[in-house]
């Protein structure tokens, strides 16, 4: 979970306040904001905040030249020798598609036609039970235990792949909002649940959703405040996903019942978007290579959760960070090629 148990880099260990999702007060829980960005600034990085990148700029040679962005209502161009797109599963495909130009009429890095395709959330259903003794869901870190006994494919279950189970804390406002908006619980029933909040426990299913080309990000006819087409997201569960979810919910209720609880209600939910710019060796069936380098444009990198090919049934954050670290190492080790226009043009011609 990337939460400190001992002092590190000027940050203290966790004191188990239990409100990690509202922001870690002592900064014991990792985030890029408190760890990597201050370090990058010490090394001389410049951050242009409150800015919206509207387009990636492409030169006559087919390589990217920088980005166009808006700040305080004014449009600027930022020149660059290479561009790394890290704007997550929805905005990364949207930016690539909105950057279409004469050289790349279908959007950047999209010769395969797969930019925006195969997006995958995790199914994240929350299963609640009521106990006779106090549980106090607000105590400790939000995810306090994990079981992956049902992670791998078991043909006897009737579906491919599997899921993780998290003993999952819940804060009062979150629990009430989810029960109302997602589980349809209102009025006296909701009030009675919240009056006995301390007696509820929750297990969350982190289910692997299979990749499906019909689950995708495309461009909408609706425009945003910058005049750009908004992202249009299309998604639905497949039969395999639904069977997996049903099995996971039943297993959660079985565990909660065995622990002495009475199954109460289920909040249907999702988590952890992945996919949209899949990684692979074949340019015909993927968008980037194993180092997140675009197959089509040699100085364009896509480095975020969009490069995932499958979703797995576990939280992806550390994997995303590992991919980012490997991509950074690759860029450093290939900087002579990446920062030379002549070598990049040879690479593009060869492709």
pLDDT digits (tens, 9 = 90+) for 65-110: 999 999 999 999 999 999 999 999 999 999 999 999 999 999 999 9
pLDDT of 345 above 70: no
Say if residue 86 is in the same domain as residue 126.
Answer: no
pLDDT at 25: 85
More confident residue, 349 or 194: 194
Q: Residue 350 pLDDT > 60, yes or no?
A: no
The confidence band for 2, taking pLDDT boundaries of 50, 70 and 90, is: confident
Supply the pLDDT for residue 125: 97
Q: Does residue 351 register a pLDDT over 60?
A: no
Per-residue pLDDT, averaged over 287-303, amounts to: 98
State the CB neighbour count (10 A cutoff) for residue 106.
13
Are residues 79 and 210 part of one domain? no
**CATH number for the domain including 291?**
3.50.50.60
Question: What's the confidence (pLDDT) of residue 328?
Answer: 96
Region 176-182 average pLDDT? 95
Per-residue pLDDT tens digits for 214-261? 999 999 999 999 999 999 999 999 999 999 999 999 999 999 999 999
The answer to whether residues 129 and 246 belong to one domain is yes
Local structure of 291: helix, strand or coil:
coil
DSSP state letters, 241-256: HHHHHHHHHHHHHHHH
Q: Across residues 188-199, what is the average pLDDT? A: 97
Residue range(s) defining the domain that contains residue 34? 1-45
Q: Please report the pLDDT score of residue 9 as a whole number.
A: 86
Do 268 and 131 belong to one domain?
yes
**Per-residue pLDDT at 176 exceeds 90:** yes
Residue 93 sits in the same domain as residue 150: no
Bridge partners, residue 156, by sequence: none
Same domain, 35 and 62: no
E strand or H helix at 123: strand 117-123
Shared domain check, 214 and 135 = yes
Task: Assess whether 131 and 96 both reside in one domain.
Answer: no
Mark whether 204 and 249 lie in a shared domain: yes
| Element containing residue 56 per DSSP (H, E) | strand 51-58
**Domain termination residue (choose one: 217, 245, 273):** 273
Claim to verify: residue 129 and residue 188 sit in the same structural domain:
yes
Lowest-pLDDT range, 45-59, 130-144, 245-259? Answer: 130-144
Round to whole Å and give the CA distance between 64 and 300. 7
User: How much is the pTM?
Assistant: 0.93
- Mean of the pLDDT values across residues 138-162? 91
Same domain, 129 and 268: yes
Q: What average pLDDT does the segment 7-16 reach?
A: 90
Strand (E) or helix (H) holding 275 = strand 270-276
137 and 151 co-located in one domain: yes
User: What is the number of domains present in the chain?
Assistant: 3
| Token pair listed for 332 | 């450093």
Which of 220, 245, 273 terminates a domain? The answer is 273
Give rounded-to-5 percent helix, strand, coil for the chain: 30, 25, 45
pLDDT at residue 59 greater than cutoff 90 = yes
Comparing CA positions, the residue from 98, 80, 102, 82 lying closest to residue 90 is 98
Residue-averaged pLDDT of the chain: 94
The backbone torsions φ and ψ at residue 239, rounded to the nearest 5 degrees and listed phi first, read -60, -40
Distance CA 241, CA 123 (A): 8
For 105-132, write each residue's pLDDT tens digit: 999 999 999 999 999 999 999 999 999 9
pLDDT digits (tens, 9 = 90+) for 333-342: 999 989 886 6
Our CA dihedral for 316, 317, 318, 320, rounded to 10 degrees, sits at 80
pLDDT confidence tier of residue 207, bands split at 50, 70 and 90: very high
């Amino acid at each position: 979970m990337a939460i400190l148990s001992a002092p590190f880099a000027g940050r203290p260990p966790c004191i188990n306040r239990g409100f990690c999702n509202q922001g870690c007060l002592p900064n014991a829980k990792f985030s890029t904001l408190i760890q990597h960005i201050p370090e990058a600034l010490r090394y001389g990085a410049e951050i242009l905040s409150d800015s919206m990148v509207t387009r990636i700029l492409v030169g006559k040679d087919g390589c990217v030249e920088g980005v166009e962005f808006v700040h305080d209502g004014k449009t600027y161009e930022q020149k660059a020798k290479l561009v790394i797109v890290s704007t997550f599963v929805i905005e990364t495909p949207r930016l690539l598609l909105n950057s279409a130009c004469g050289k790349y009429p279908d959007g950047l890095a999209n010769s395969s036609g797969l930019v925006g395709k195969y997006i995958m959330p995790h199914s994240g259903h929350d299963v609640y039970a009521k106990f006779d003794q106090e549980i106090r869901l607000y105590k400790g870190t939000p995810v306090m235990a994990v079981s992956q006994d049902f992670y791998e494919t078991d043909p006897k279950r009737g579906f491919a792949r599997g899921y993780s189970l998290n003993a999952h804390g819940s804060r009062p406002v979150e629990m009430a909002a989810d029960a109302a908006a997602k589980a349809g619980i209102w009025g006296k029933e909701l009030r009675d649940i919240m009056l006995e909040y301390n007696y509820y426990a929750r297990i969350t299913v982190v289910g692997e959703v299979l990749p499906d080309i019909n689950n995708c990000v495309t461009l909408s006819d609706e425009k945003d405040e910058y005049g750009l087409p908004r992202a249009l997201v299309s998604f639905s569960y497949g039969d395999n996903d639904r069977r997996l979810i049903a099995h996971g919910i039943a297993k959660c209720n079985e565990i909660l019942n065995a622990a002495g609880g009475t199954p109460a209600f289920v909040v249907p939910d999702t988590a952890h978007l992945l996919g949209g710019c899949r990684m692979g060796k074949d340019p015909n069936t993927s968008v980037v290579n194993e180092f997140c380098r675009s197959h089509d444009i040699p100085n364009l990198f896509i480095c975020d959760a969009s490069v995932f090919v499958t979703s797995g049934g576990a939280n992806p954050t550390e994997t995303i960070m590992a991919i980012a670290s490997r991509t950074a190492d690759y860029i450093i080790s290939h900087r002579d090629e990446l920062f030379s226009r002549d070598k990049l043009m040879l690479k593009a011609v060869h492709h």
